[in-house]
Structure 1
Amino acid sequence: MLKKFASLMTLLLPAISTYAQAIWFSPNAGPSDYMALFQPDAPWQQVSTHIQTFCFSCNQVFNPSWGINLPDMLSDLRRRHISLEVGMSPLSGDGHCGFHVEGYSNAAQPLSDARRLKAAGAEVSCYAMDEPFYYGHVFTGQNACHASIEDIAKDVAAKVKQVRSIYPGVGIGDVEPVGIPYGNWLSDLEQWFDAFNAATGSPLAFFRVDMQWGANWQGQMRQLAALLRRKGIPLQVIYNGSGNDRSDAAWTAQAAKHFRDYEASGLPKPDVAVFQCWTKNPTRMLPETDPSTLTGLVLQYIKSR
């Protein structure tokens, strides 16, 4: 028995002593070396062993113009023991509002995508919703719906039911911007958490922060972290650059500054650090030895921990 316990501790101690956060990886499918990530000898051997979950959106992998070979991708992720997260636009709107607004999609789109993923052999560990609270309730731009929180929850619940008909019990997380405060933002967010739970029958699997790094985010994050602790919802933070960065080196330097700034702020550490890009930079994923690539950024983070 003691020998078995010692062997178990040998397995656990490296994970405990390295860092508390998990690392999830969400690259933009646009760079030309995206599919090179899924070659057995791809030059991200260190980084890939630290990635727990790989994230992508169906509008990229199912779009022929992106050139994504889904079977090859899934096969390599399984070989690397990396789980899969799928992005979801969880709102439908009423046919007028929500048109060409982020977070909205056709009413049956998640079901269609989930069926295609399942047919391809994908085992999805979780879904990430694209900012339904912000774009459904807060957003004031063109075609804004200004929906009530209860109506958003009902709209979202219909699509959650769709994906769970294919992937029963799959976790559903929420991605929302932080750093755009308004008068009732914290109480509205708590109401949203409760409405989601009531409408879907389960709490959020996680809350992922799309940080507005140029804003005064520290105070809002402190309040948010306390709310998430009280609700028992794991915190994730996206570490990224900005669309204004004009080179790969500038983008990754900004992203590295952001993870250093956050983790030196005294705020609660995220349960998951998410390295994600949706801008034109960085234009390369590989190799990890180059600090201006996305895998190179993750390696900087790993070494800093």
Structure 2
Amino acid sequence: MGISVNGVSKNYKAVKALQDISFQVKPNELFGLIGPDGAGKTTLFRILTTLLKPSTGTASVAGLDVVNHFKDIRNQVGYMPGKFSLYQDLTIAENLAFFATIFGTTIEENYDLIKDIYVQIEPFKNRPAGKLSGGMKQKLALCCALIHKPKVLFLDEPTTGVDPVSRTEFWVMLKRLQKKNITILVSTPYMDEAAMCDRIALIQDGKILQINTPEALVAQYPKTIFNISANNMYLLIKSLQAYPYQHSVYPFGEFVHYSDTRDTFSIEALKTYLENNQLSHIYIEETQATIEDSFMALAR
């Protein structure tokens, strides 16, 4: 069973955290909510996991209304909040047993669901959760969220602050869980993780900018993107922003991503312009658009 959100808004006095949000998550879909900090992702997760009531609009999870059937929903979903929220002084084994007991089940009953994850932390099962690494805390939290075999899994920025290897491992685990008939809604500020989702919703300032597959979002980008670097990144950005034909300019790793307003673009003309602005070691090459480029274009 999936998720349905229809015209949901959430206000905190004068602050509009969510503004008329609507989308559907199909059964067994891995759906990503992509956006920066403060975009409204956590507020939406709290509404869908029945921790907050929407100011307006309706939402359902696994066919159940989040307001009228909140108790039933809590038994059918797994929730992994952005901040590690397990008991720091309990061991791995004790945390897992505690959450199994709360949901009226046992570790053995649903062990097949968590086995692939749990075997990675089992050697440390007697270690207090507070003394685990970021990646191990992440795996323990996921095990606790799955121990009652939920129909829908909510993961709010699960890889924030985790090392790159653990991040990659985590998404491999999510793909495996998806094959076990679990609907997954995951939020992340990392654009590279968005490509792992079946579909994504780009969100900013409490509004959905667009919903589509990662491939379709990238394909819709209307301009050619160029990677540009030089000896002085700050001066490079300021010079490109002052260029009369610039369409967009923003940092992208070790490069600046640049697009031009003209259909015909001369790399040599731009290079000469930058050299006249006291820049050297200039590198300009066409590159592929990314989800981040699409997000920046929509946000602009």
Query: Greater strand share, 1 or 2?
Result: 2
Structure 1 or 2, whichever has the larger Rg, is 2
Q: TM-score, normalised by structure 2?
A: 0.36
